[in-house]
């Protein structure tokens, strides 16, 4: 019998072979943004944004690319800012998003949402956005979305204090993220103390426990990979290590379908996930649950599937920046904080800057470890 881990691992291969949708550009009032990290010119690349991987804390809220692994939102946003590849918009403005549809896996409709802090919402907390798309375009190779910015939008993320992250994806969980710079707002002076995240202390502690569990897996994956393959190696290893949960099995090894339906909507908890089962199956379901695991869905606090959909909400923001600086985003508090105005060298690594992204730094941590051991 083929194991669930093998089956889940095949999803990435299938995605690679069958095609997908890639955001080519996003254009607002001025300038244009690119999809974070994904190589839009390479037909073999794509951005997978699987909600259950976010909840299980394998990836950040923008998911992972097939060729580079987990997307470090803070770092990638700072790179795009430095390159001048960030579109600008105002409250109530419209950003036009062009998507290259490779085949039916990349077809619409697409839904989009926004992290007003750029990088701290994790599995829950995003602001839904109004999206207009022409169904006649579905299947024609190029899709155009008109994405309306919130009328009360206040972007506070990144080192500039005025960046939001927009995330778009379809039912097949292909899509991408891009940065938007707000021009009609006073830039926020980000510090670790002035940005509120959606994560509770209990959720943070659960995530730390998951980080500790996954640490050895990540280090081993990096040790066996080349410098340029570390991102995908870590993502693949974590997917395999958590395959039972990602496939919807509960912590007891049962398939408990009721529990899994939720596995795919981890947002359930935050107030409604993307098509959750309505009763959240979980809140007690995720990593130990909040007490509902038992009796509610037979979760027994098991299947890390949900944890309130925040498995990813906060995380160790730090990890270890390329050599110990946590140079990750610092500066880019882009994550709801972390800024601390740091720029890419500070060690505040967004003290929260990457809140919600414990994975962000696994790759860099490992590099530091490899250099240290060398």
**DSSP assignment string, 146-199:** EEEPPTT----BTTTT-EEEEEEEETTSBEEEEEEEESSSPPP---TTS---S-
**pLDDT single digits (tens) 222-255:** 898 888 888 888 888 888 888 877 776 544 433 3
* Cis amide linkage into residue 128, ω under 30° from 0: no
- Helix/strand/coil (H, E, C) string of 8-43? HHHHHHHHHHHCCEEEEEEECCECEECCCCCCCCCC
Question: 362-373 and 201-223 helices cross at what angle (nearest 10)?
Answer: 50
Instruction: Assess if residue 341 is contained within a domain.
Output: no
**pLDDT single digits (tens) 35-92:** 999 998 888 899 999 999 998 888 999 999 999 999 999 999 999 999 999 999 999 9
Domain with 32 in it:
18-182
Question: 201-223 and 230-241 helices cross at what angle (nearest 10)?
Answer: 120
Check pLDDT > 80 for residue 335. Answer: no
Check pLDDT > 70 for residue 167. Answer: yes
Instruction: Assess if residue 168 is contained within a domain.
Output: yes
Rounded to whole angstroms, the Cα distance separating 214 from 199 reads 20
User: So what's the pLDDT on residue 292?
Assistant: 40
Instruction: Assess if residue 210 is contained within a domain.
Output: no
Q: Of the segments 69-78, 258-267, 278-287, which one has the largest average pLDDT value?
A: 69-78
**pLDDT single digits (tens) 291-331:** 344 434 333 333 333 333 333 433 333 333 333 333 333 33
136: tokens are 């006649």
Check pLDDT > 50 for residue 361. Answer: no
Domain count, the chain: 1
Instruction: Assess if residue 217 is contained within a domain.
Output: no
Instruction: Assess if residue 82 is contained within a domain.
Output: yes
Instruction: Assess if residue 320 is contained within a domain.
Output: no
Cβ of 165: how many Cβ atoms within 10 Å? 32
Mean pLDDT of the chain: 71
Chain position carrying tokens 């912590």:
251
**pLDDT single digits (tens) 118-152:** 998 888 899 999 999 987 676 668 899 999 999 99
Instruction: Assess if residue 247 is contained within a domain.
Output: no
Check pLDDT > 60 for residue 32. Answer: yes
User: So what's the pLDDT on residue 333?
Assistant: 39
Q: Tell me, what CATH number does 43's domain have?
A: 2.60.40
- Say if CB 331 and CB 183 are below 8 A apart: no
Rounded to whole angstroms, the Cα distance separating 237 from 217 reads 7
Instruction: Assess if residue 37 is contained within a domain.
Output: yes
């Amino acid at each position: 019998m083929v194991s669930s881990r093998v089956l889940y691992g095949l999803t990435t291969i299938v995605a690679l072979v069958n095609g997908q949708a890639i955001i080519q550009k996003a254009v607002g009032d001025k300038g244009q943004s690119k999809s974070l990290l994904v190589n839009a010119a390479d037909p073999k690349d794509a951005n997978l944004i699987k909600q259950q991987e976010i909840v299980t804390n394998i990836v950040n809220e923008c998911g992972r690319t097939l060729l580079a692994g987990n997307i470090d939102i803070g770092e990638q946003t700072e790179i795009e800012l430095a390159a001048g590849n960030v579109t600008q918009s105002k409250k109530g403005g419209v950003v036009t998003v062009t998507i290259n549809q490779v085949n039916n896996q990349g077809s619409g409709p697409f839904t989009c949402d926004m992290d007003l802090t750029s990088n701290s919402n994790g599995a829950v907390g995003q602001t839904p956005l109004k999206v207009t798309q022409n169904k006649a375009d579905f299947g024609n190779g190029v899709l155009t979305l008109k994405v309306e910015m919130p009328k009360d939008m206040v972007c506070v993320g990144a080192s500039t204090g005025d960046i939001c992250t927009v995330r778009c994806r379809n039912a097949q969980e292909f899509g991408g993220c891009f940065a938007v710079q707000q021009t009609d707002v006073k830039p926020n002076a980000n510090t670790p103390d002035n940005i509120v995240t959606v994560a509770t202390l209990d959720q943070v502690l659960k995530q730390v426990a998951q980080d500790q569990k996954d640490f050895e897996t990540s280090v081993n994956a990096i040790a066996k990979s080349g410098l340029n393959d570390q991102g995908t190696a870590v993502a693949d290893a974590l997917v395999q290590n958590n395959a039972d949960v990602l496939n919807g099995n509960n912590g007891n090894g049962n398939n408990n379908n009721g529990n899994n339906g939720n596995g795919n909507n981890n947002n359930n908890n935050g107030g409604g996930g993307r098509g959750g089962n309505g009763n959240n199956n979980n809140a007690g379901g995720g990593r130990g649950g909040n007490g509902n695991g038992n009796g509610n869905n037979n979760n027994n606090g098991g299947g890390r599937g949900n944890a309130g959909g925040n498995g990813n909400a906060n995380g160790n923001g730090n990890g270890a920046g390329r050599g110990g600086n946590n140079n990750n985003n610092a500066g880019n508090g882009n994550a709801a904080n972390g800024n601390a105005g740091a720029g890419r060298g500070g060690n505040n690594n967004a003290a929260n800057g990457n809140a919600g992204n414990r994975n962000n730094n696994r790759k860099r941590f490992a590099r530091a470890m490899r250099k240290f051991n060398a």
